[in-house]
Amino acid sequence: MVKKIFGYSYLYLILLLSYIPILVLIVFSFTNATYIGEWNGFSFKLYADLFQSEEIIIALGNTVIIAIISALVSTLLGSLGAIGAFYSKKRNRAILESLNQIPVVNAEIVMALSLVVMFVAVGSYVFHEQIFSFWTLLFGHVVISAPFVYLNVKPRLQQMDPSLYEAALDLGCSPRKALNRVLIPQLMPGIMSGFVLAITLSLDDFIVTAFTRGPGLLSGENNIETLSTLVQAKIKKGPIPPELRALTTIIFLVVLIAVILITIYNNKHKKVNKKRRTY
């Protein structure tokens, strides 16, 4: 009994410490004070000012575009990689899984510096010009996101009956049809979880973004500005624009809603699978 109470207390304490800063940020997004801690009365002014700030809107647009595109590419590569590794020979699977772990456990600064060295070498010896642009930034985000998609899809493959795919082939399905009609529906909860995780990883990334970005997207000829790089630049000059508190609140609520919807979908998917197994 004592262990149970201690365990729950510890869990709730960790959750409290994790969410108190977010709750404080949300509360102070409804006042137009410059600094957190000051209260100038309840107001939606920061939300109105948010959509009038061209600088923030450009950074938000860049961030969302990069996050969605990199998440789609990462989901495709991570899912196909997990399927390919699962149906590979044991030795090949072990090699692929070891390679997949490197970006996960490695320090992000090491990954960023490695990407910079590679892009500089390719630009110098192949294209004979600087190649830093949207494409190098996209490549960097895919490199850090795809391994996490792989890790989300892998458990679903391990839970699935490995003979389903082979049975579909025996019943006359082509490999592509078996993939689309048998494997993908079974793996969809893991794929969706990996997609959302890839988006969140891209949204809050700073190190890889700062090292691999170049001109392009909504920033035009200037270096691509994302929310993380914008906040870092503002911290150097002075206080963070209070409008970002409103933006952070909106992003938190959107991600929270997405997580809830995916959880509901996963639970429904589990219930359907249980009913099928019963019959």
The pLDDT of 182-201, averaged and rounded, is 86
The pLDDT of 96-107, averaged and rounded, is 84
pLDDT above 70 covers what percent of the chain? 95
Would you list the DSSP string of 83-110?
Answer: HHHHTS-HHHHHHHHHHHHHHHHS-HHH
| pLDDT the model gives residue 275 | 60
The total of other beta-carbon atoms located within 10 Å of residue 253's CB is: 11
Q: What is the DSSP letter of 224?
A: P
**pLDDT tens for residues 57-83?**
898 899 999 999 999 999 999 998 888
Which of 266, 264, 258 lies closest to 188 in space, CA to CA? 266
Residue where the block lists tokens 């795809």: 146
| pLDDT the model gives residue 273 | 62
Which of 159, 160, 154, 150 lies closest to 183 in space, CA to CA? 160
Residues 198 and 186: their CA atoms lie apart, in Å, by: 20
**pLDDT tens for residues 156-175?**
888 877 677 777 777 777 77
pTM attached to this predicted model = 0.81
pLDDT over 70 at 277, yes or no = no
- List C-alpha distances in Å: 8 to 17, 19, 23, 257: 14, 16, 21, 25
**pLDDT tens for residues 212-256?**
998 988 888 888 999 888 888 888 777 778 888 888 888 888 888
